[in-house]
Amino acid sequence: MKSLLTLLLFTAYVFAQVNILPRPEHPRPQFERSDWINLNGEWTYSFDFGNSGRDKNWMSKEKFDGKIIVPFCPESKLSGVEYKDFIEHMWYQRTLDIPANWNGKRIILNFGAVDYESEVYIDGKSVGVHYGGTSSFGYDITRYVAAGKTHNLVVRIADDSRNGEQPSGKQCYAYNSEGCFYTRTTGIWQTVWLEAVNQFGLKDCYIIPDLDNNQFNFIPRFYEMKQGLKLRITLSNGQEKVAQTSASVSSGNMISVQVKNPVTWSPENPFLYNILLEIIDPSGNVLDKVSSYSGMRKVHIEGNKIYLNNKPYYLRFVLDQGFYSDGIWTAPTDEALKHDIELSMNAGFNGARLHQKVFEERFHYWADKLGYLTWGESSSWGCNTNKVEAARNFLSEWEEIVVRDRNHPSIITWTPFNETWERSESDGKQHNRFLTDAYKLTHNLDYTRPVHDVSGNYHVKTDIWTVHLYDQDPEKLKQNLTVDPEKGVYRNNPKYEVEYTGQPYLVDEYGGIKWIAGNAFAQNSWGYGTGPKTLDEFYNRLDALTNVILNFDHIVGYCYTQLTDIEQEQNGIYNYDRSEKFDMAKIKNIFGRSKEIK
């Protein structure tokens, strides 16, 4: 019997072949307008292995020889291309039909994500250049297009994942996938869309829940401002209005909306308030209307504990890398994003560390809806922290990531980096400055969440302390995690990192037990340590390792490696196609055990 995701993948592939729009849902559910056009579907493309496209005037090309299904990367099956070798340069093309009724509106061209450098042209004219493979961006193209007309859109791509200067996450640096590195992603890999906005419309809005004062705080930004305009904010519970206020339009000013007896958001009760943001002129006309939502929740640290809604909370996390066998970094359908969260919750986890990939906004939407906690992480691997140019590239992209996703209640921690191994190859000066800058930048952009500088090792400045331990022997794991009277808590690299000063302490990678259900994915398939010989041995080892962590009072959470197999790394709770490998009742009995934090 085929798994649900296998059917979803097949359906998405069929849709692509018959030109049914892939990924048709609105890509930004926390900032949604009614006037928008999804630009996914068939585009033309060409690889540019000689990097000579600009010399050949390809920015004015009205058609390339190849056809590709956007938003799937050319390495993926769902793109219709499935080219697996390195692609350092390529070009995309399609036409833009601007509706006649958009006359007088500001027209914005949005990209969910393009890996890595992209330049956008309309009718041969450059609109802008963006750097960053996982952050969203957009261009005001009003002066380049005309309502009721058709225009030519061309996108140039540059992507060198081997230069050590750009974040690429788990994209493999070698031709064949190996170790914990997998198939690469190049070019457009999230939804592209147009939207029509009033001249004085909202550009974005930072929404900050304030549980202690029973209010939401809003910090809006506008494309343009004019005296006499008002921003009206309406909160509702379904169809019932809960609160409403209006304030003069002014970018950056905070507007507070009181909520009487607010309902909190949590995994146990993921209640969300619907929010309507409207720009009103002096005559009462609505110039711009944006639908959003938020959850009333608070996350903070007291001593060595993480608090959710002012109560200590134990994190039972799983490592989720967000790879799909047919879409690579791109989920084949919106339902597949939701299904991944449901699979994790069914295994007993209350959240995930989103690992070495910036997940698309629709994933965070489902996490918000379902009550699923996450740590937001970058795709930092590939970005050598000893290189100044790498710091420049990383910090600008990370800023866009945090600003885009900071309204999601499900995200409770930011983790800029993972295992910055290159630190041991230098004197640490550039590395430490880089991580400190990222820590400070993140707090300046979002002062409501803890910042976890680097997962696993080489901590420099952090609100949360984590270690990675893949001991397969429960007794050895226990010995390592037992607090030493002289040395203190276990640290991965005490020689190169700062002293532990009492932060919340978590084992945010452990386990990774190899188990192959059926045939191995590849000859180089692997898991951590020596794999168990029987299912009973697997369950016993998993139970014992998890119990070791649960039995330590100084540990306030864990993250198991990992949710699914990914290509040759076959240590997931589920197979790569999301089918079950184990008796899920037994798995949930292990990961679903609650722990009272003392």
Dump pLDDT digits (tens) for 389-421: 999 999 999 999 999 999 999 999 999 999 999
Q: Does domain 299-591 correspond to CATH entry 3.20.20.80?
A: yes
Checking if the pLDDT of 7 tops 70, the result is no
pLDDT (0 to 100) of residue 19: 62
Tell me the average pLDDT across 344-361. Answer: 98
Checking if the pLDDT of 4 tops 80, the result is no
Mean pLDDT check: name the lowest of 14-28, 265-279, 346-360.
14-28
Tell me the average pLDDT across 576-585. Answer: 97
Rounded-to-integer distance, Cα 250 and Cα 271, Å: 30
- How many residues are given for the chain? 598
Would you tell me which CATH number, out of the four given (2.60.120.260, 3.40.640.10, 2.70.98.10, 2.60.40.10), belongs to the domain 23-197? 2.60.120.260
pTM of the model: 0.95
Nearest residue to 265 (alpha-carbon basis) of 273, 276, 256, 274: 273
- What's the whole-number average pLDDT of the chain? 95
Tell me the average pLDDT across 55-67. Answer: 98
Checking if the pLDDT of 499 tops 60, the result is yes
Checking if the pLDDT of 181 tops 80, the result is yes
Second-level CATH architecture of 202-294? Sandwich (2.60)
Dump pLDDT digits (tens) for 553-574: 999 999 999 999 999 999 999 9
Rounded-to-integer distance, Cα 339 and Cα 336, Å: 5
Q: Which two tokens stand for residue 128?
A: 């802008």
Strands 117-122 and 150-158: antiparallel
Dump pLDDT digits (tens) for 443-496: 999 999 999 999 998 999 999 999 999 999 999 999 999 999 999 999 999 999
Q: Which two tokens stand for residue 426?
A: 């230098």
Q: Kindly report the CA angle at 585 between 582 and 588, in degrees rounded to 5?
A: 95
Q: Which two tokens stand for residue 526?
A: 């692997």
CB-based burial, 404-442: b 16+ in 10 Å, e otherwise: bbbbbbbbbbbbbbbbbebbeeeebebbbebbebbbebb
Neighbours of 57 (CB within 10 A): 9
Residue spans per domain, the chain: 23-197, 202-294, 299-591
